[in-house]
Amino acid sequence: MGKFVIKQTPSGFKFDLKAGNGEVIASSETYKTEASCLKGIASVKKNSAGGVEDLTADPVVAVKHPKFQVYQDKKGEFRFRLKATNGQVIATGESYKARAGVLNGIESIKKNAPEAPIEKTY
């Protein structure tokens, strides 16, 4: 089972969603307070059932928020960002060499996030 791990940084708090094997599958922005970081986790849990909008596909099929948006970075690697109902990015993924890898990462979030416990490392 996955878990959210909150850590304190010099400028605030951030979280990683880790799969059962300990691999990071999504990360947050840095929040100024622990309370706002916890709200970010709640938003990921709530919005992780969203559809997938693949910007690397031809044609691109638009998906309403909440959604996972798949794209290629400057290195040509595949990434995703999870957007909440309001369109705000609430989590981002690691880079993957293959499109199949990023899609597996999204499925892992859908599976792990809704019931994942929260662990604080500070």
How is 74-87 classified by DSSP, letter by letter? TTS-EEEEEE-TTS
pLDDT digits (tens, 9 = 90+) for 59-73: 999 999 999 999 999
Q: What is the pLDDT of residue 45?
A: 97
Phi, psi of 52 (to 5 degrees): -115, 125
What domains, with CATH codes, occur in the chain? 3-120 (2.30.29.80)
What pLDDT is recorded for position 1? Answer: 84
1-58 confidence digits (pLDDT tens): 899 999 999 999 999 999 999 999 999 999 999 999 999 999 999 999 999 999 999 9
Q: Mean pLDDT over residues 68-96, rounded?
A: 95
Mean model confidence pLDDT for the chain:
95
- Measured CA to CA, the distance from residue 54 to residue 30 in angstroms comes to 26
